[in-house]
Amino acid sequence: MQLFETRAELRAFLKEVRQRQQTVGLVPTMGALHEGHLSLMRTAAAENDNVVATIFVNPTQFGPNEDFSKYPRSLEEDARLAAAAGVTALFHPPLEEIYHTGNATWVEVVGGLTENLCGRTRPGHFRGVTTVVSRLFNIVQPDRAYFGQKDAQQVQVLKRMTEDLCFDIQIRVLPIIRESDGLALSSRNAYLSVDERQAALVLSRSLEQARHLIEAGERDTKTIVETVTAFIQQEPLAVIDYVELVHPDDLRPRERLEKAGLLALAVRIGQTRLIDNAMLEVATCS
């Protein structure tokens, strides 16, 4: 695996790859790699001749009171893990390689996809994500790009951006990787104390509660959201940011669950904001 810090170096590498008529998979990350990231990298390695993984803690997607400066950074260990997962090029640019002109150009998906869920509680967040990912798409020009379903709203927003801006890139979405007790892997789990780590199980367990409700025949989204909310509120260390049950494609609420709904959560455990989600599918008799 080669490590690149500048666009020029990466471009030279990619030029040779293209001359060999090889394919490229892109895995954008903010580093502090865990099994969630590595599953994206391994799949990208299985599906492409080359994998470019990026590690860039993107300042424009963090709000003024968020954790940009304390976000975990561990380049040496990340490089070891990425190489073992089949990454061929690791791009770790300094700020000025991505925002080299200052910044006068934003890429923003507007409307329903960015209005609720994290869009409501992290204003400007998705504008930062689409701005940086569009730059990475332009720099790398991959055949495929890999994202985790853990960031379910991000996936829908990036699919829409890809479509709207005519990027010729296949968006591949991979399932949420969890610890054996159900906690979704996240770089931010590193912030949790022992007690908070235990309390954080309330997210995945509340999603399980919702699944049981659906199995028992509940279809009213308000009842499902209220039950999940009450379940999370029983955990003293948890403060709800949002609990929403929305249509999986347009991310808008519906009164009744029809075929499937996306139940998405953001919950603060102490100072740490965690997200999780589940696709709730209604079983149909054939």
Separation between Cα atoms, residue 179 and residue 195, nearest integer Å: 16
Tell me which amino acid residue 220 is: D
| Cβ-contact 112, 137 below 8 angstroms | no
Query: Which lies closer to ligand PAF via its Cβ, residue 99 or residue 233?
Result: 99
Kindly provide the residue ranges of all beta strands, DSSP E only, lying in the chain, ordered along the sequence. Answer: 2-4, 24-29, 50-55, 89-91, 144-148, 170-174, 238-246, 260-269, 272-281
Longest dimension (CA), the chain: 59
Residue 133's binding partner out of ligand ATP, ligand BAL, ligand PAF, none, with CB under 5 to 8 Å set by partner kind:
ligand PAF
Q: How far is the CB of 16 from ligand ATP (least distance, A)?
A: 27
Query: Which lies closer to ligand ATP via its Cβ, residue 14 or residue 129?
Result: 129
Using CB under 6 A as the binding rule, whether residue 135 contacts ligand ATP is answered as no
Separation between Cα atoms, residue 148 and residue 266, nearest integer Å: 16
Using CB under 6 A as the binding rule, whether residue 277 contacts ligand PAF is answered as no
* 161 is an annotated ligand-binding site residue: no
Q: How far is the CB of 72 from ligand BAL (least distance, A)?
A: 12
Q: Any catalytic annotation for residue 92?
A: no
Using CB under 6 A as the binding rule, whether residue 58 contacts ligand PAF is answered as yes
Q: How far is the CB of 135 from ligand PAF (least distance, A)?
A: 10
What contacts 73, CB < 8 A, 6 or more positions away?
31, 32, 57
Contact string 117-136 vs ligand PAF (x = CB under 6 A): ------------x--xx---
User: Would you state the torsion angle of the CA atoms of residues 66, 102, 93, 110, taken in this order, to the nearest 10 degrees?
Assistant: 60
Q: How far is the CB of 122 from ligand BAL (least distance, A)?
A: 8
* 150 is an annotated ligand-binding site residue: yes
Q: Is 244 helix (H, G, I), strand (E, B) or coil?
A: strand
Contact string 2-41 vs ligand PAF (x = CB under 6 A): --------------------------xxx-----------
Query: Which lies closer to ligand BAL via its Cβ, residue 61 or residue 130?
Result: 61
Tell me which amino acid residue 223 is: T
| Cβ-contact 47, 90 below 8 angstroms | no
Residue 176's binding partner out of ligand BAL, ligand PAF, ligand ATP, none, with CB under 5 to 8 Å set by partner kind:
ligand ATP
Residue among 279, 281, 275 nearest 183 (CA): 275
Residue among 24, 28, 74 nearest 54 (CA): 28
Separation between Cα atoms, residue 99 and residue 105, nearest integer Å: 10
Q: Residues in the site for ligand BAL, rule: CB under 6 A?
A: 30, 61, 151
Using CB under 6 A as the binding rule, whether residue 172 contacts ligand ATP is answered as no
Using CB under 6 A as the binding rule, whether residue 43 contacts ligand ATP is answered as no
Binding positions for (R)-pantoate:
61, 154
Binding positions for beta-alanine:
61
User: What does the binding site for ligand ATP look like in residue numbers (CB under 6 A)?
Assistant: 29-30, 36-37, 39-40, 147-148, 150-151, 174, 176-177, 184-188
Give catalytic residues, as residue numbers.
37
